[in-house]
Amino acid sequence: MRTVPGRTDHVVVVGAGLSGLAATLHLLGSGRRVTVVERGDRPGGRAGRTRLGGYLLDTGPTVLTMPHLADEAFAAVGDSLAGRVDLVELHPAYRARFADGSGLDVHTDGEAMAEEVRAFAGPREAEGYRRLRQWLRSLYEAQMRRFIDTNFDSPFQLLHRDLARLAALRGFGRLDAQIGRYIKDPRLRRVFSFQSLYAGVPPARALAAYAVIAYMDTVAGVYFPKGGMHALPEAMADAAQDAGAEFRYGSEVSGLRLSGGRVTAVRLAGSPDLACDAAVLTPDLPVVYRLLGRTPRRPVRLTHSPSAVILHAGTRRTWPQLGHHTISFGHAWERTFDEITRTGQLMSDPSLLVSRPTAHDPALAPEGRHLHYVLAPCPNTAVGPSAAAWGELAPRYRDSLVQELEKRGLDGFGDAIEEEQLITPADWTAQGHAAGTPFSAAHTFAQTGPFRPRNLVAGIDNAVLAGCGTTPGVGVPTVLISGKLAAARITGF
C-alpha cells in the first residue's frame, strides 16, 4: 500500500462529515495531532441537523447499517459507539407497500423473514429467500476485505482468488437477473434490488455484486440512533475532541498552499493559514479539485448518480400503516429508472422512501406531533432539469408528492403539515455537490474499486481524499470506511 512519505505529525482534516470524523479518530489513534476545519457551525456534513419550528430534522441519511464500522473508529481512541450513542435495532427494518395494495414487513432475522415471505408469497418463495440470504452473505464475505475495505494502488490488485470467488457467485451478472434466480415474485425482487439505486445504477443494469448493499439492509440489520442520525457525527466529534483533536467550526477553506509537491498549509478565508504535514480532503470532488488547482485526467467524464427531492414534514398526526422506514413502490419499475437515469424526467410513477424518526424518538418533534421524511429519487442536473429550473418546478413537484402520498393511503397528509422544508437538486447544487446530487459519482463498473477516483492525488505527496466521491463509494458504511482508508494512507496501517 502506498503511503504519504515524510513527516505526518500534524494532519488537517477538511470537513467534519462522517468520513472526516472517521479519519480523525483513526489518525488520533495512531498518535497524530489532528485539526478539523469545518465550514458549518457543527459536525455532520451531509449527516447534518436543522431545526424547523419545534422539529429537529436530519438533513442527510436516515438509514444506519453496519454500525460496527463506526465502532471501529471509536475504538481507535479507546472509546465505543455504545458508550456514546443509544442505538435501536429496527424490527422490522422496513415496511414495504406495493401498488396492488399488498405489503410485507422486511425482517433482518432469517426465520422471521422466511415466515413473512411464506405468508406473503408461498413456501417456494420462502425457500428461495433462504437461498438468497445465503448468497447475499457469501457476496459480502467475498467482497468486504478484498474489494471494499482496502486501498487500491493498481487494478492488478483485483487479481486475487476472491475475484474468482466473486465470479463464481455470479457477481458480474446483472443484479435483477441474479435476484430472480432465487425469488420469482416481482414484488419481492424489488425489495432486494432497489438498493442499487443508492449506488446510482438501476437494478437491471447494476452488477450483481451490488447486492452487498441489500445484505447490509436486509440481513446485517438496520439501526436508529436516539436523537436522529445526526447523533452519530455529534458523538464522533465529541470522542475526537476528548482524544485531543482541535475543531475549527465556521472556517471556510479557500485553498491550499503547495510547495515541492506537498501541501504545507490549508488556507482559511479571513484567518491565518493553518500549517500541516498532511491533509485529508473530504468535500465533494469538484470542490476538492478546485482546492488542489487541478482535475485528474480520466478516459471518460464521471457519471453521477441520480439525485433526490426530500420533503421534511412536521405533522399534527401520523398514519398507523407506516413503519419507521416505509418503502412505497409504484406500479412502474424499469420505466421509472429509465426516466431518472437516461431520459431526465421526473418519475411518472415514483417509488418513495418515507421515514418516521419520531416512531422511536418522539423528542424530535413537539409533544403530540410527528416528523416524516419523504425521499423521491429524481434525475440529477446533468440529465434532468437544471438547478435554475427547480426554482419554478419545486412547488408543483411538492404538491404532486403530497397528492401521491394521499393516494397511497396517507389521507389528509397535506392538511396535517404544520412545518415543512423541501430540498431539491438546486439545494444540493448550492452545497457544492456535482450534478446536483448528494450521492456523488455513480457506481458504474468504470467508477468502482480501483477505477473510482483514487484517494491519493497524483503529483501531491501528502493530500488524501475521503468521502463518497472516492473509494469505496456512496453510503454511510462506505463513507466511514473511506475515512479509515484515508488515515491508513498516512499512518501505514
403 and 484 assigned to the same domain: no
Q: What is the DSSP string of 362-388?
A: GGGSSTT-EEEEEEEEE--TTTSS-TT
Residue 5 lies in a domain: no
Q: Give the mean pLDDT of 278-286.
A: 94
Least confident of 4-8, 90-94, 429-433: 429-433
Q: Give the mean pLDDT of 383-389.
A: 97
Number of structural domains, the chain?
3
Q: Give the mean pLDDT of 159-170.
A: 77
Looking at 435, 453, 481, the residue that finishes a domain is 435
261 and 332 assigned to the same domain: no
Q: Which of 446, 491, 409 is nearest to 98 (CA)?
A: 409
Residue 2 lies in a domain: no
**What does the alpha-carbon distance between residue 251 and residue 426 come to, in Å, rounded to a whole number?**
24
Asked if the model's pLDDT at residue 293 lies above 90, the reply is: no
Q: Which residues contact 275 (CB under 8 A, 6 or more apart)?
A: 10, 264, 265
pLDDT band at 403 (very low <50, low <70, confident <90, very high): very high
240 and 174 assigned to the same domain: no
Task: Check which CATH number belongs to the domain holding 285 and give it.
Answer: 3.50.50.60
Q: Pick the more confident residue, 20 or 157.
A: 20
| pLDDT tens digits, 196-217 | 877 778 888 888 888 899 999 9
pLDDT of residue 232: 98
Residue 104 lies in a domain: no
Range of 264's domain?
Answer: 10-48+67-87+232-301+441-491
370 and 355 assigned to the same domain: yes
Asked if the model's pLDDT at residue 127 lies above 80, the reply is: yes
Q: Which residue has the cell 515524510?
A: 6
pLDDT of residue 465: 97
Asked if the model's pLDDT at residue 457 lies above 80, the reply is: yes
Residue 239 lies in a domain: yes
User: Is the distance from CB of 37 to CB of 12 less than 8 angstroms?
Assistant: yes
Length of the chain: 493
**What does the alpha-carbon distance between residue 447 and residue 438 come to, in Å, rounded to a whole number?**
16
Distance of CA 299 to the CA centre of its chain: 26
**What does the alpha-carbon distance between residue 440 and residue 288 come to, in Å, rounded to a whole number?**
13
426 and 313 assigned to the same domain: yes
Instruction: Please give the grid coordinates belonging to residue 418.
Output: 404544520
Residue 60 lies in a domain: no
Between β-strands 325-328 and 307-315, what pairing exists: parallel, antiparallel or unpaired? Answer: unpaired
Mapped onto helix, strand or coil, the DSSP state of residue 472 is: coil
Residue 372 lies in a domain: yes
Looking at 217, 243, 262, the residue that finishes a domain is 217
32 and 81 assigned to the same domain: yes
413 and 475 assigned to the same domain: no
128 and 213 assigned to the same domain: yes
Q: Give the mean pLDDT of 463-475.
A: 93
Residue 244 lies in a domain: yes
460 and 412 assigned to the same domain: no
| E strand residue ranges, 93-238 | 94-97, 103-106, 222-225
| pLDDT tens digits, 251-274 | 999 999 999 999 999 999 989 999
Residue type, 121: A
326 and 425 assigned to the same domain: yes
Residue type, 228: G
Asked if the model's pLDDT at residue 157 lies above 80, the reply is: no
Residue type, 81: L
Looking at 435, 464, 482, the residue that finishes a domain is 435
**What does the alpha-carbon distance between residue 269 and residue 333 come to, in Å, rounded to a whole number?**
47
369 and 453 assigned to the same domain: no
Asked if the model's pLDDT at residue 299 lies above 60, the reply is: no
pLDDT of residue 353: 96
* Residue 243: φ, ψ to 5°: -90, 5
Percent of the chain with pLDDT over 90: 78
pLDDT of residue 155: 64
**Burial of 471 by CB count in 10 Å (0-12 exposed, 13-18 middle, 19+ buried)?**
buried
Asked if the model's pLDDT at residue 487 lies above 90, the reply is: yes
319 and 429 assigned to the same domain: yes
Q: How large is the C-alpha radius of gyration of the chain?
A: 22
Residue 99 lies in a domain: no
For the chain, give the mean pLDDT: 93
